[in-house]
């Protein structure tokens, strides 16, 4: 990715090779399907979905897709992500392995519920 600021997720995706664009587009569609009320934005220079706060982020790198579910998403899915390189709030899905779209879907569902609960707690 070049260092220019991306103004849309479409432009972000289009800045990568075709094979990576296909993966990024499928990740985006997976998130859109699970979070139809989420707003799309570029935050931290990467695609972000917002619904009652930041939901998830994703980013393309040379050899992997970075998926950012915040620390809570990684904690909730520790067993499922144990075979992937991951940090406190990030998971790396290598391009030369199948991308776990079903896991992405489950994490998005979890994050939607978590953000809804956080909003309800703030209202009380």
Output the domain CATH number for residue 88: 3.90.1150.200
Number of domains observed in the structure of the chain: 1
Question: Would residue 51 count as lying in a domain?
Answer: yes
* pLDDT the model gives residue 3: 45
For residue 2, tell me if it sits in a domain: no
What integer is the mean pLDDT of 25-38?
Answer: 98
* pLDDT higher than threshold 80 for residue 6: no
Q: Is the distance from CB of 43 to CB of 51 less than 8 angstroms? A: no
The domain in which residue 91 lies consists of: 9-123
Residue 1 belongs to a domain: no
- Let me know if residue 73 belongs to a domain: yes
CA 100, CA 3: separation in Å to the nearest integer? Answer: 28
How many C-alpha atoms does 16 have within 13 Å on its Cβ side?
Answer: 21
Copy the structure tokens of residue 112. 């939607």
Task: Quote the pLDDT of residue 119.
Answer: 85
Question: Is the pLDDT assigned to residue 79 strictly greater than 90?
Answer: yes
């Amino acid at each position: 990715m070049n260092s220019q600021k991306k103004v849309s997720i479409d432009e972000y995706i289009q800045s990568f090779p075709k094979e990576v664009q296909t993966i990024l587009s499928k990740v985006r569609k997976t998130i859109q399907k699970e979070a139809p009320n989420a707003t799309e934005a570029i935050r931290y220079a990467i695609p972000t979905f917002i619904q009652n706060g930041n939901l998830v982020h994703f980013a393309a790198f040379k050899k992997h897709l970075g998926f950012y579910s915040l620390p809570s998403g990684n904690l909730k899915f520790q067993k499922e992500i144990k075979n992937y390189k991951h940090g406190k709030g990030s998971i790396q899905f290598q391009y030369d392995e199948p991308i776990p779209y079903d896991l992405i879907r489950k994490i998005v569902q979890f994050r939607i519920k978590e953000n809804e609960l956080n909003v309800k707690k703030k209202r009380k």
